[in-house]
Chain A
Amino acid sequence: MSEKVLMKGNEALAEAAIMAGCKHYFGYPITPQTEVAAYMSKRLPKIEGGVFLQAESEIAAINMVIGVSSTGKRVMTSSSSPGIALKSEGLSYLAGCDLPALIVNVQRGGPGLGGIQPSQSDYFHATRGAGHGDFHMIVLAPSSVQEMVNLTFKGFDLGDKYRMPTMILADGTMGQMMEPVSLDLGEVTKYDKPWALTGTNGERKPNIVNSLFLKPEELEQFNFDRYKRYAEIEKNEVMYEEYKMEDAEYCIVAFGVAARVSQNAIDEARKNGIKVGMIRPITLWPFPKEVLNKAADKVKAFISVELSMGQMIEDVELSIRCKKPVLLCNRTGGMIPTTKNVLDSINEAVNYGGAK
């Protein structure tokens, strides 16, 4: 069953969503994620109960997602950075209503209309400010087409398990590149959803999906309770991958395409005797704080490699309590760090505080 097919990241992700039992997709065209919508528009009408709908706006799309999710069914939308910004209102409502949904952001450069080349500059948005109010989303960062598939499948599970929105934070590279993938994903887990709007049939009290609480003590309690659930997630759901960390003296932290470039740079640097490794966060929220903090007791310095002006670096610094220096290796605006960029940063880290 390990037969592999060559697929584009966006299409592989879409197929994985269908395999996860998602029969409802709402979206709006925007580069570089439009293949997700195109794929869904072909596939979903052929599936019993499948609905593809191109919404009049990103805002409408996320609210259609809210509608389906409130009925207890799996549902997704996808977009790219400027479109995700528009969906922020809905992300906050999903969180406030304790509704699961999968939201895919195939990021492009910003701010403003920005560009259409790959970026990771929505890290803050995804992990900090995805809308107004106190809330988090689970944020998953694939760094291969296979992970686009696996994390999409898992994202639906996590969303249902914890009743909250899950975001796939991919960069444009992941959406556009082709790789062989296995679609052997196993069984879909079913979750009871007694809160879902299915009609009372006159047999039970009405279910209400709502995020309004005018009594502050009531809203506070809901937020406290939600954050207790978040604490569980931080304890149980952190995902990361280590690369050559056993003897590492320097630690790169990178996700998505930046991790792939960094891996090449690590192999190069090791040829020159520099012991460098990588911790690749797969969950950006919850962030692998503990593993980084432990690594900080072993390594001399960290390098955060990003396709932004330096956003994840703040989480790295917080995680290690600023015990060690953290350097930034970054490109932005749609540029991708080269192996040389990363090697230069590795050398900078080695020489940090004066050559030995």
Chain B
Amino acid sequence: MKVFEKPQALTDAVLHYCPGCTHGIIHRLVAEALDELGVTGRAIGVAPVGCSVFAYNYFNCDMVQAAHGRAPAVATGVKRSDANNIVFTYQGDGDLAAIGTAETVHAAARGENITVIFVNNAIYGMTGGQMAPTTLPGQVTQTSPYGRDVSKVGYPVKVCEMLSEVDGAAYLERVAVNNVKNVKAAKAAIKKAFQNQIEGKGFSLIEVLSTCPTNWGKTPIDALKWLDENMLPYYPLGVYKDKTQNAE
């Protein structure tokens, strides 16, 4: 009896992520959702610039790698080329909420029928731990060595809250992957976001709170705890918008 297997929507490539990084979990959840919904064969993913740039090596479906922040625009083109494509972007916080803010907001405003997986770990990982748009007040990073001073550099961007005011957005949920319960909820949210696309319900974004032990300077276990104690209060989990309930 088989009790565990790798999703078909993941390749055999070995993930390059640091020990304790939760990108691997999120990749798996996305892959499981694609497989369970039977859409891996018509899925086209858009990889970002950042730690998850190599997503194109890990997802076992057609992939395009976008310029920094432009994934929602590239995804728009892919989707508009053929509505049968199941199109997703996989983006980090710098990509989605800093350099790509306009592309994110307007893809949502247009109600693009795509699925956005937004990985928020409150830091730039790939470049070695700089302040992100989602870095918490007071959080120490390479470019906020005295802690994020909101009087000088402003406040973190709360993406789900912001997009909840955008009429075109259909489904917005914030989840986390720091414990089993949250991982299960994250899976359900991601699957729903793809289900929405299959049913043509429009723009879905799942914000996944994720860890970066390396750049947070913590052990993997302490990183999970830090997420729980620091990120969850600032970024409450939950559904921020759901137009899909009563939608025809």
Contact = CB atoms under 8 A, between A and B. Distances in A.
Interface of A: 24, 26, 51, 53, 55-57, 59-61, 63-71, 73, 75, 89-90, 93, 97, 197-203, 206-212
B62 A63 contact: no
B59 interface: yes
A66 B62 contact: no
Interface string B67-106: 1001001111111111011000000000000000011011
A67 B74 contact: yes
Contacts of B77: 24, 26, 63-71, 75
B78 A200 contact: no
Interface string B46-71: 11000001001101111111110010
Given A60-B103, A197-B44, A199-B85, A53 B80 contact: yes
Contact of B41 (A26, A64, A89, A201): A201
Contacts of B78: 67-68, 70-71, 197
B40 A56 contact: no
Given A63-B66, A199-B44, A201-B41, A71 B82 contact: yes
A67 B47 CA distance: 12
A16 B22 CA distance: 50
25 contacts: A59-B102, A63-B66, A63-B67, A63-B77, A65-B77, A66-B74, A66-B77, A67-B74, A67-B76, A67-B80, A68-B77, A68-B80, A69-B77, A70-B74, A90-B70, A197-B44, A197-B62, A197-B64, A198-B62, A199-B44, A202-B41, A206-B62, A208-B56, A208-B57, A210-B64
A206 B76 CA distance: 20
B158 interface: no
B106 A56 contact: yes
Give 7 closest A-B pairs by Cβ, nearest first.
A67-B77, A63-B73, A56-B106, A199-B42, A197-B62, A64-B77, A63-B70
Nearest to B74: A67
B109 to A, nearest CB: 8
Contacts of A75: 77
Contacts of A93: 66-67
B43 interface: yes
B85 A66 contact: no
Nearest to A51: B80
Interface residues of B, number: 37
A211 B57 CA distance: 13
Which of A24, A71, A97, A212 counts the most B-chain CB atoms under 10 A from its CB? A71
Given A63-B74, A93-B67, A201 B42 contact: yes
Contacts of B73: 55, 59-61, 63-64, 66-67
Given A70-B64, A73-B81, A199-B62, A56 B103 contact: yes
Contacts of B56: 208, 210
A197 B75 CA distance: 12
B80 A209 contact: no
B70 A71 contact: no
Nearest to B49: A212
Given A59-B70, A68-B80, A210-B47, 17 more contacts: A24-B80, A51-B81, A55-B73, A60-B73, A64-B77, A64-B80, A67-B79, A67-B81, A70-B64, A71-B77, A197-B44, A197-B85, A199-B62, A199-B85, A200-B61, A208-B63, A208-B64
